[in-house]
Amino acid sequence: MKRFIEKFIEALLLISGSVTSITILLIVLFLFKEASGLFNTLTIEEGYVLAVNKSNPVRHLSSLEIKQIFDSEITNWDEVGGKEEAIQIVRLNDLTQNYADSALESTNEQSTLFVNELLEKHSGILLYLPKEYVSTHFSGALIDQENIQAGDFFGGQEWYPTATPAPQFGLLPLLLGTFWVSIGAVLLALPFGLAVGIYLAEIASPNLRRFIKPLIELLAGIPTVVFGFFGLVVIVPLIREMFHLPVGETGLAGSVVLGIMALPTIITISEDAIRKVPFATKEASLALGATHWQTIYRVILPYAKSGIITATVLGIGRAVGETIAVLMVTGNAAVIPHSLLEPMRTIPATIATELGEVAQGSAHYQALFALGVVLFVVTMILSAIVEYFSSKSK
């Protein structure tokens, strides 16, 4: 009977572990499946085309060039390989300014005639219209449509997912914002966290350690939105006044908030690593005439190096994946940052902000899943680094 119970428990554990592993694998596969659809999506909004006069030699425009044309950053065809002529943008809504609404709504054939007349009349026209206006008697030429390229996503410098007619899904502003905030948080948290860990492990009395350690661990249980409110009320105004900035919602504010949030992880793991240094090793250093501080600096810290590095990387992982607190204090600006004193946006904040407002299956929806894949890969790399350094410790 006892043997049967043991086998039954083993089977339950096996089933539980298998179901958990399969569930995680399915989640990852779903993430990659949804993200891959982005690169099968056309650069121009679905159901629409761009048309030009047949005499215009331009037949290809990149997604960025289309956006720059519609933003009036490019105003002449010679800037995109055409002849020297001003670009005249006409949208479907602009047709109502040239023709009566009743005429446009009469028949598709009549509407097509109006479109053809516009294309023939203006040699520098760039017409943005629905596909149904293009017929066998279409007198213009269509700009070639291509799928969103991986280089446009991974190397793109602009994130404007609602831009018309060519949304921009550039990863770089969000990736750099995530790295700026995360690295700043670790640079702030690591010295303080390591100092507190050394103090608790080597200097503090047992009674003081028993009092401080639970308080530090309690800090890890505070909801992140509370840290966000604290940063918004205290840290943001302080940074604005200290650096004389127009706004205090910057990457530095996010780094400070995340640094505070990462402190419990760094303190706890580094203190455990320091306390695991064999007592005989410390005694041997003191017996050779080293002072207590020399022993800490030259013996204890090198011995606990792998644990300290693990604490640092886990602190970075906490910073990389944080959402609400960062969203509240960093300014939420999807632009390439050049310093911590600028507003910026991180990948998790972007996903949390935009996912609930996009149409399922749209290019924007798939781009957010692609951001999730990037975040997953970054987290996996950090986990591999932790595993590498943890395996080196004896």
Task: Kindly list the domain boundaries of the chain, sorted by start residue.
Answer: 48-148, 172-392
For residues 252 and 256, what is the distance between their CA atoms, to the nearest angstrom?
6
Angle at which helices 236-243 and 251-275 cross, to 10°: 110
**Tokens found for residue 284:** 């041997």
Q: 90: helix, coil or strand? A: strand
pTM: 0.85
SS3 annotation, 53-89: CCCCCCCCCCHHHHHHHHCCCCCEHHHHCCCCCECEE
Per-residue confidence (pLDDT) for residue 233, from 0 to 100: 92
- Which helix (H) or strand (E) covers residue 50, if one does? strand 48-52
Per-residue confidence (pLDDT) for residue 131, from 0 to 100: 83
The answer to whether the CB of 282 falls within 8 A of the CB of 299 is yes
Tell me the CA end-to-end span of the chain in Å, nearest whole number.
Answer: 41
Question: Under CATH, to which class is 48-148 assigned?
Answer: alpha beta
For residues 178 and 295, what is the distance between their CA atoms, to the nearest angstrom?
37
User: Residue 359: CA atoms inside 13 Å, Cβ hemisphere, count?
Assistant: 6
Same fold for the pair 48-148 and 172-392: no
For residues 232 and 332, what is the distance between their CA atoms, to the nearest angstrom?
13
For residues 187 and 254, what is the distance between their CA atoms, to the nearest angstrom?
13
Positive or negative, the CA dihedral 169, 170, 171, 174 is: negative
Q: 155: helix, coil or strand? A: coil
- pLDDT digits (tens), the chain, 394 positions: 777 788 888 888 888 888 888 988 888 888 888 888 888 888 888 888 898 988 889 989 888 888 899 988 999 999 998 888 999 888 866 665 555 544 445 455 666 777 788 888 888 888 888 887 777 678 888 888 888 888 889 988 999 998 888 899 999 999 999 999 988 998 898 899 989 989 988 888 888 888 888 888 888 788 888 999 999 999 999 999 999 999 889 999 999 999 998 888 889 888 888 888 888 888 888 888 888 888 888 888 888 888 888 888 887 777 777 888 888 999 888 889 988 999 999 999 999 889 888 888 889 999 999 999 998 888 888 778 777 776 765 5
Per-residue confidence (pLDDT) for residue 36, from 0 to 100: 87
- CATH number given to 172-392: 1.10.3720.10
**Tokens found for residue 187:** 């640079």
Length of the chain equals 394
With 0-12 CB in 10 A as exposed, 13-18 as middle and 19+ as buried, what is 93? exposed
